[in-house]
Amino acid sequence: MPEFVRRLTLFDLVLIGAGGAIGSGIFRTPSQVAAAVPSPAWMLAAWALGGAVTLAGALTFAEL
C-alpha cells in the first residue's frame, strides 16, 4: 500500500490562497443579494439554495 507524502507545492499554496480570497466574498455579497430580491423570504431561499449547492459540491469533492 503506497504512502502519501505530506508536502505542498507552490501550485497548492496558490490554490489555497485563491480559495481563501474567493471564499471571503461571503462577507461582502449578502447585502447586494438582499437588495436585488423583492422580499426577505427570497433572500432566505437564495441562501438555502446556495447552501445546498455548496453542500453537494463538498460531498462530491469528499468522494474524490
- Tens-digit pLDDT profile for residues 35-57: 888 898 998 898 899 889 989 99
Rounded Cα gap, residues 64 and 57, in angstroms: 11
pTM exceeds 0.85: no
Task: Say what the pLDDT of residue 41 is.
Answer: 92
